[in-house]
Amino acid sequence: MHILYPFAKRFIAGEDRETALKNIKTLYEQGFLCTVDVLGESVHTEEQAVEAKNEYLALLKSIETFHRPVDISVKVSALGMDIGYDLCKKNVEELIDAVFHHTVRFDMEGSDLTDRTLKLGLELQKTHKNLGLVLQAYLRRTDRDIQSVIDQGVSTRLCKGAYKEQEDIAYQSMDEIREKFYSHACRLLKEGNLPAIATHDEILIEQITTFIDKENISRESFYFELLYGVRRDIQQALLKRGYQVRIYVPYGKAWLPYTLRRLGERKENIIFVVKNLIQESLGLGKIK
Ligand SMILES: Cc1cc2nc3c(=O)[nH]c(=O)nc-3n(C[C@H](O)[C@H](O)[C@H](O)COP(=O)(O)OP(=O)(O)OC[C@H]3O[C@@H](n4cnc5c(N)ncnc54)[C@H](O)[C@@H]3O)c2cc1C
């Protein structure tokens, strides 16, 4: 087993669909909504892209009878974008055709994919309404992209951005990223279609909820969105305050790249992993 698995387990709902579905059902029973992600990215062969699509199709089949809406988060790189735009488009179309009353949302990846992801999303959204996008507040270009998603009425998740980007492309300081996040969030809440505010940042959440109250924005018109296993206290608190809260639930065997991004977001996570490693290698575990 990989040395990072004890850490990864906190952030993923299982390595297989059946385990993930049990966790998803529990979240729905607690009053949350979910966005489900089949882990995997950057495939290099058409067979791998088709394999990823097939797992999504199987997932869609198993949530056919869910009465409440489920978001299905997909990475265009997993559906073959780096092999070819048309191959990826064909795979996505198959998913959208099978989506019932749920939604397919493109996660946003590194900046080499931003143009192609938005192009495909905006193109397909003209004919398929159950399609959503993601914008990253750290990207300078989001000032322009936000206008496109608003004009076209595309449901959009706003997050800070999780990839390493150069300064000419992305803001680097947390203050600037927060400032941008706040102004984009306010625009999406007022002018957007069913936006999702995706952050665990308490400062931002307080600022945004104050804005929501001041502007009298209906709680039915947006979601807060948080990651599985991250700040469960905030997830519960938002639910208790009467907001719609969606949990991003990843599952699958290809958990390493996702886990490494979560690891890098917080120094305490690195300490947790190092502690586990020392415990294991020195045989300090309590159960022998
Ligand atoms: C629902 C959802 C979907 C996302 N989708 C995308 C996407 O499509 N593309 C993309 O680039 N990024 C995506 N992200 C990741 C996002 O861009 C940020 O990297 C991530 O959310 C950290 O920023 P933050 O604002 O949540 O919290 P930060 O300001 O980084 O942290 C605020 C607090 O949250 C807690 N926290 C945050 N991260 C962790 C962690 N890893 N482990 C433990 N505690 C943590 C800590 O208590 C921390 O103090 C998504 C995030 C969410 C919540």
Of 160, 247, 243, 250, which is closest to residue 199 (Cα–Cα)? 160
Average pLDDT over residues 226-241: 95
Whether 271 is covered by a domain: the verdict is: no
- Give how many domains the chain has, as a whole number: 1
Residue-number span of the structural domain to which 29 is assigned: 14-255
Indicate whether 283 pLDDT > 80: no
Whether 25 is covered by a domain: the verdict is: yes
Residue with tokens 């990253």: 136
Ligand 1 site, residue 232, Cβ cutoff 6 A: no
Of 160, 131, 153, 125, which is closest to residue 221 (Cα–Cα)? 153
Q: What is the pLDDT of residues 127-170, one digit of tens each?
A: 998 999 999 999 999 999 999 999 999 999 999 999 999 999 99
Mean pLDDT of the residues in the chain: 93
Q: Give the model's confidence band at 242: pLDDT under 50 very low, under 70 low, under 90 confident, else very high.
A: very high
> Which pLDDT does position 288 carry in this prediction?
43
Q: What percent of the chain has pLDDT over 70?
A: 95
Q: Could you give phi then psi for residue 223, rounded to 5 degrees?
A: -130, 155
Ligand 1 site, residue 41, Cβ cutoff 6 A: no
Indicate whether 229 pLDDT > 60: yes
Whether 236 is covered by a domain: the verdict is: yes
CA-264 nearest atom, ligand 1: 41
Q: Give the model's confidence band at 279: pLDDT under 50 very low, under 70 low, under 90 confident, else very high.
A: low
Whether 59 is covered by a domain: the verdict is: yes
184 near 146, Cβ under 8 Å?
Answer: yes
Q: Report the separation in Å between the CA atom of 16 and the middle of ligand 1, taken as the mean of its atom positions.
A: 24
CATH code: domain of residue 184: 3.20.20.220
Whether 287 is covered by a domain: the verdict is: no
Indicate whether 281 pLDDT > 80: no
Site to substitute for ligand 1 among 27, 163, 164, 227, most atoms within 8 A of C-beta: 227
Whether 268 is covered by a domain: the verdict is: no
Q: Give the catalytic positions in this structure.
A: 107, 157
Indicate whether 49 pLDDT > 80: yes
Whether 9 is covered by a domain: the verdict is: no
Ligand 1 site, residue 246, Cβ cutoff 6 A: no
Whether 2 is covered by a domain: the verdict is: no
CA-201 nearest atom, ligand 1: 32
